[in-house]
Structure 1
Amino acid sequence: MQVSVAVHADLDELVRLESQLFRDDAGVHDPQVDVSWPTRHGRDDFARLIDLDSALVLVARRESVVAGHLVGYVTAPSATRFGRRTAEIRSLYVDSASRAGGVGQALVGRFKAWARANDATSISVTSYVANHGARAFYARLGFAERSVVFQAVLED
């Protein structure tokens, strides 16, 4: 398995994986998420992120097949965090056939190294409370739950 920085030639695979993430995660846990967004806007969004110095888009390949991806970025220094930069994993997805094989761990490990090199002092990631698999995965990698988001849906 090889983890590398994504290039524009990876755009179709990135959209495929992000579409699966939206369908399998947000589509199950949040009825307010437009699961068609990656199909309609993902290509432009990934192209922008690939070219952005403050973002990192990674792909993991087994042989020549893209088995997973990670998208993350670092923030500007924050006055409320003692002038420190933080990193955030925006999305991470590994094909079901490649799970439990170290792909996700390798992607996060590469992102951690990049975040450190970009002066981030912490990494955060958001997960749906009902996504027990994701929460257990991040806990195994040393992430601790720090906050809870409450949401009220306003009816029309």
Structure 2
Amino acid sequence: MRNQISVAVHTDLDDLVRLESQLFSEDAGVHDPRVDVSWPTRHARDDFVRLIDLDSALVLVARREGVVVGHLVGYLTAPSATRFGRRTAEIRSLYVDSASRASGVGQALVGRFSAWARENDASSVSVASYAANHGARAFYSRLGFAEQSVVFQAVLGD
């Protein structure tokens, strides 16, 4: 089965919201109790409309046999003086439904995003992952990503 990666369009909005909701539930819902996992059902549609139309962002969908099974959302940063005037690219979210994992869908999405980042003069691609999400960390490591920094967090109470 061949994976088809394409730039998302407005007719993909229902699928994008569905996948983002699954991502929130399976990732943040497991690893961070302070994340509102219902956010995608209320706000993701408007957010995706904005991102689809934004030149500095890229929203991709992956299809297998015509069905949307994954998505990637990423964007470019502004050129930074501390990065020798170069910009970077950041993957904001990536999700592949469980039935399509380990089939090359995620790798194809990251590859397409990385090519777009290179075409837009980004010096690197980065992504954040929960430390406890060992599957995501192993996935990105297999694709050549290296851990660069650690974020420390102190919860201040409710």
TM range (shorter): over 0.9
Q: Classify the secondary structure of the residue corresponding to 2:137.
A: helix
SS in 2 for 1:129: coil
Match of 2:150 in 1: 148
Matching residue of 1:47? 49
Secondary structure in 1 matching 2:63: strand
TM-score, normalization by structure 1: 0.99
**Counterpart of 2:141 in structure 1: which amino acid?**
A
- Matches of 2:139 and 2:48, distance apart in 1: 25
1:70 equivalent in structure 2 = 72
> What SS does structure 1 have at the residue aligned with 2:126?
strand
1:106 paired to 2:108: yes
Structure 2 CA distance for aligned equivalents of residues 80 and 23 of structure 1: 36
> Counterpart amino acid of 1:84?
R
Contiguous gaps of at least 5 residues in structure 1: none
- State the number of aligned residues: 156
Residue 155 of structure 1: CA displacement?
1.4
What code does the residue aligned with 1:155 have?
G
Q: How far, CA to CA, are the matches of 1:17 and 1:135 in structure 2?
A: 20
RMSD between superposed Cα atoms in Å: 0.5
Match of 1:86 in 2: 88
Which runs of no fewer than 5 residues in structure 2 stay unpaired?
Answer: none
Where 2:55 maps in the other structure, the secondary structure is coil
TM normalised by structure 2 equals: 0.98
Would you identify which runs of 4 or more consecutive aligned residues in structure 1 move more than 4 Å?
none
Supply the distance in 2 between the matched residues of 1:76 and 1:130 (Cα, whole angstroms).
30
- Percent sequence identity over aligned pairs: 86
What amino acid does structure 1 have at the position aligned with 2:130?
Answer: Y
